[in-house]
Amino acid sequence: MRHGTCRPHPSIRPLPIGRGNRRRRRAELLMSRVRRLRRSTAAAVAAALTCGLALAAPSMPAQAEPDPTLVPPNACRGVAASLVARMTPRERIGQLLMGQPARSGALPDEAARAQIQDYGIGSFITQNSVPRTPDGAAVFHNRMQAWAQESRSGVPLFIGMDLENGTVQQIPVAAGHPFPMGLGATRDPAATSAAARVAGTEAEAIGINWSFGPVADLNTNPENPVIGVRSFGADDTAVAPHTAAYAVALQEAGVLSAAKHFPGHGDTSVDSHTGLPTVEYEGATLDRHLTPFRSAFDAGSKGAMTAHVVVEAVDPDLPATLSPKVLTGLLRGELGFDGVVVTDSMAMDAIRDTWGLHEAAAMAIEAGADIVMVQGDARPVSDFLVEALDSRQLSAARVRESATRVVRTKCEMGLWGNRYADPQHALTVVGTPEAHQQGLDQAVDSMTLLDDDGVALPVERDARILVAGRDANRVAGELTALGATAVTPLTTPQSPSAAVRAQAVALAADHDVAVVTTFTSGAPNAAQAQLLNDVAATGTPTVAVSLGLPYDLAGLDTANARLATYAQNVNRVGSPEVYTGIATVLLGDRPATGRLPVPVGGFPIGHGSG
């Protein structure tokens, strides 16, 4: 729970207003403003009534504006239009930019303050910027919101993060859940909803009001180097209920969702961080890729994130982020989406190396994007856009339209009355035992056994167990924590050399069972496959465990059992609960009941031997 007050507490913490007292407190604040109105000049009246929320521009007469803390969501369109009408051009541009704060000690630095108060930047991505504790992150975000409240416009900030496997992605004590492909393997949208509800509740407690998810991409290209386990799967009809469930649960927890990466990044073979992907499919194939987005939008998702991908069926010349045909024609027109559209990071090579950050920002706004993710200091981009606006190279109508949509959405989310986090509350909400247990249950339910001849599984606790491959230490540690008494880890490089493979073979000969892990973020790794085959050739019962993409398991039929875990994304980030789940299944404490959400070799979607 977060609390809104007219002025931030001196410690940047909210006043302790309980839910039951909030209405009375707001009435008291309103009466206080009325009394000040009677004693003040007209200019002071406007400031008191809006409390810094909508001060008149210097050239305009001062007037009282509706207080967004007191209007119902259905009145937010009018309130937003009124507030934006009073903004300066730079303030309107500021609502269209998403910066990233640097840190000075435990708090955002002076440059972050300048972005907010001098330039009116209205949104920030704070992943990898905040202290990695619940209360530290809350205080960090509160400082930013206090600067925004004290600014001329007073509009609250959107503060967002990528939390695709839960708030644990940024706060280590938080609960984690499986990546979307793992949730897809459970075949249970209710589990996805529960995962998102925990993630949203924890995020809201630390001051996050926007989670950049769900991932609505269909991972139909096994060699996709960037989406992979971030996708719920490859079948549109199976994925769609999960994207809807995730979006709804996030927003019920008070956190805006953003279905991404529109209109689909799942069939690419190029990572848009390093190049410009193109997809060539048309017609029915495009429609299938749109299905999970439609499902999220129909369920009420108020946000969408663009893809830096050229979709030739819609616009063969420009990536979706810069394409009016995609953002205005397809997304707004055909799909009828009226929520906030944020770009993916414009610092990615797909955009920056071809169009340049500043020019691309203007192109994205003209195309129909509402917020441009700068992912850095947004002031230089603001300067460029203000100049483009002055020279009429950027449409004033487009800027006003998007600024109004952004402010309207902030109003609909109740951010004026709920802009601050309570650091002490965050400590009690984030990482509860119940949330961790839920994440573990979901992880176990996601584990997918492709085949098992009954020789290697379950692994006995008193057996001599070799764990070889990527992250062997982590898997071995979980086995030991659950009671295995003789576990030997051999952590290998991404591509284990012949010498490393020989070491694994020698160790396997002295062990009762071998667990060989794989990890790739694109095409299978031949050296990892050879490691598995060499170990299996010793005659020691062998289990192949894919930690990343399940496609690794396709050719590893020399193993006695093959287990897909969906544990790590392309950045090798994963939830601790999933590793505990791996050990739980290997030791036979619980069965692997997951089903493949993507085809793997000859195994179809829906296959599972557990």
For 547-571, how does the pLDDT look when each residue is reduced to its tens digit (9 = 90+)? 999 999 998 999 999 999 999 999 9
Q: H or E element: which one contains 464?
A: strand 464-469
Of 221 and 19, the one with more pLDDT: 221
CA distance linking residue 334 with residue 313, whole number of Å: 14
pLDDT band at residue 65 under the 50/70/90 scheme: low
Q: pTM of the entire structure?
A: 0.89
| Cβ pair 444, 581 in contact under 8 A | yes
d(CA 131, CA 103): 9
Residues 267, 404 within the same domain = yes
User: 60 versus 181: which is more confidently predicted?
Assistant: 181
DSSP string, 383-436: HHHHHHHHTTSS-HHHHHHHHHHHHHHHHHTTGGGS-B--HHHHHHHTT-HHHH
Q: Tell me if 13 is assigned to some domain.
A: no
Helices H / strands E in the chain, number of each = 21, 18
38 confidence band (pLDDT: 50, 70, 90) = very low
Least reliable range by pLDDT among 27-41, 209-223, 457-471, 537-551: 27-41
CATH code, 467? 3.40.50.1700
Spatial neighbors of 182 by CB under 8 A, at least 6 apart, are 229, 442, 443, 446, 565, 566, 567, 578, 594
Q: Is residue 248 situated within a structural domain?
A: yes
Q: What is the helix (H) or strand (E) element at residue 341, kind and residue range?
A: strand 340-342
β-strands 464-469, 486-491: how paired? Answer: parallel
pLDDT grade for 14, boundaries at 50, 70 and 90: very low
- Pair 140, 266 in one domain: yes
The answer as to whether 25 is a domain residue is no
**Amino acid at position 427, single letter:** L
**Greatest CA span in the chain, whole angstroms?**
90
390 and 513 part of one domain = no
The pLDDT, as a whole number, for residue 74 is 87
Same domain, 424 and 535: no
Assigned domain for 293 exists: yes
pLDDT (mean) for 538-553? 97
| Per-residue CA distances from 380 to 119, 273, 387, 492 (Å) | 10, 22, 11, 44
Domain count, the chain: 2
| pLDDT tops 50 at residue 43 | no
The three-point CA angle 200-206-211 to 5° equals: 40
In the prediction, which pLDDT does 70 show? 74
Q: Which two tokens stand for residue 507?
A: 């160790």
Mean pLDDT, the chain, integer? 90
pLDDT beyond 50 at 182: yes
Q: Are residues 143 and 194 in the same domain?
A: yes
Can you tell me the mean pLDDT for 49-67?
38
Domain end: 360, 394, 429, which one?
429
pLDDT bucket at 18, cuts 50 / 70 / 90: very low
Domain span holding position 488: 447-586
Q: Are residue 95 and residue 189 in the same domain, yes or no?
A: yes
pLDDT for 610 equals 83
| Judgement on whether residues 265 and 364 belong to the same structural domain of the protein | yes
Question: Of 349, 393, 345, whose CA–CA distance to 373 is shortest?
Answer: 345
Residues contacting residue 546 through CB under 8 Å, at least 6 positions apart = 517, 518, 519, 552, 553, 562, 563, 564, 565
Query: What's the pLDDT score for residue 181?
Result: 98
Output the pLDDT for position 66: 58
Active centre residues (catalytic): 273, 344
380 and 315 belong to one structural domain: yes
Whether 6 is in a domain gets the answer no
CB contact at 8 A, 416 and 158: no
On whether both 283 and 401 belong to a single domain, the answer is: yes
Question: With bands split at pLDDT 50, 70 and 90, how would you rate the model's confidence at 452?
Answer: very high
Which pLDDT does position 341 carry in this prediction? 98
Confidence of residue 269 (pLDDT cuts 50, 70, 90): confident
List the alpha helices (DSSP H) in 447-497. Answer: 472-481
Q: How confident is the model at residue 49 (pLDDT cuts 50, 70, 90)?
A: very low
Q: Which of 206, 290, 209, 296 is nearest to 253 (CA)?
A: 209
Are 298 and 416 contained in the same domain?
A: yes
Q: Is the pLDDT of residue 113 over 60?
A: yes
* Domain containing residue 281: CATH number: 3.20.20.300
Residues 189 and 308 in one domain: yes
Contact status, residue 201 vs residue 499, Cβ threshold 8 Å: no
pLDDT tens profile 333-392: 999 999 999 999 999 988 999 999 999 999 999 999 999 999 899 999 999 999 999 999
Q: What percent of the chain has pLDDT over 70?
A: 89
In a domain, 523, yes or no: yes
Asked if residue 351 belongs to a domain, the reply is: yes
pLDDT (mean) for 160-171: 97
In the predicted model, is pLDDT for residue 239 greater than 70?
yes
| Domain-terminating residue out of 399, 429, 459 | 429
Flag whether 40 is in a domain: no
Query: Which pLDDT belongs to residue 272?
Result: 87
**Domain co-membership, 386 together with 264:** yes
Which backbone phi and psi does 303 adopt, to 5 degrees? -135, 155
| Chosen domain end from 429, 460, 485 | 429
